[in-house]
Amino acid sequence: MLLIELQKITKDYNGHIIFSDICETLREGSCLVITGPNGSGKTTLLKILAGLIRPASGKFTISVDGTLLADENRKDYLGFVSPDLYLYEELTALENLEFFVKVRGLAESEEYCLKLLKKVQLDKWGGSLVGTYSTGMKQRLKFAYALLHQPLLLLLDEPGANLDEEGQALVQEIISQQKETGAVILSTNDPAEVARYGDQVLKLDEAGRCFIK
């Protein structure tokens, strides 16, 4: 059983508190939606959870069947999609996925990468350079990248950004599939997404306080 705990997470920049003492527990099959106005720290919180930046204080733990997963192996259990994350534009989509498979030390083959591209509806453009992609196509490729290692926890920062209707449906499908085997934490400003995905909702305000719905 997967258990994710945010324990009193606080972040400040040069003494200015972004948010403080965020506590939340998330179980397998759930989706936590982080919402709040611009500048409330949604993206910062997701980056802390991804291990990309350090919190000022507090802890984030993932445990499976009571066993705590080590911090240094966190990347093996996390998938991250964010507007701040870019893939290699001078490589094709397939080359990108193959590179990340190899650099992760996974055994998956080219067929696996093609299957993932098909899942995000990019199979026809798998051989094109990512630099030639539209922003929506790049967003889809980020999902393929995040799902490459079948993570337990999917962290999604504005997942519906730049996506058309088909893309939105794809996000919905990915989130519901992810909830079958793990959990999802996503941040959004869109009230429709909050209502659609939010099994648990964490609202941040500009004063650095958080409210749990």
Partner 1 sequence: MVTRFLSWTRQAGALLNKDFKAEFRTKYALNSFLMFAVTTLVIVSFAVGPYYLDPVMHASFIWIIIFFSAMAGLARAFIKEQERGTVYALKLSTTPEIIYLGKFCFNLLLLLLVLLVIIPFYFFFLSPSVGNPLLLVVVLLLGSLGLTGTTTILSAIVSKANVKGNLLPVLAFPVLLPLLITSINGTRLALEGYTFGEASSELRVLSSFFVIMTTVSLLLFNYVWED
- Where do contacts with partner 1 occur on this chain (CB under 8 A)? 50-54, 72, 75, 78, 80, 82, 84-91, 95, 99-100, 102-105, 145
Q: Which is nearer to partner 1, 82 or 187 (CB)?
A: 82
The rounded distance, in Å, linking the Cα atoms of 70 and 5 is 14
The least CB distance from residue 185 to partner 1, in Å, is 15
The least CB distance from residue 97 to partner 1, in Å, is 11
Whether 15 and 208 have beta carbons less than 8 Å apart is answered as no
Q: Which is nearer to partner 1, 90 or 165 (CB)?
A: 90
Question: Residue 181, SS3?
Answer: helix
Which residues contact residue 116 at a Cβ distance below 8 angstroms, ignoring those fewer than 6 apart?
A: 97, 144, 147, 148
Q: Which is nearer to partner 1, 94 or 200 (CB)?
A: 94
The rounded distance, in Å, linking the Cα atoms of 188 and 147 is 20
The least CB distance from residue 106 to partner 1, in Å, is 10
Q: Which is nearer to partner 1, 99 or 112 (CB)?
A: 99
Phi, psi of 40 (to 5 degrees): -85, -10
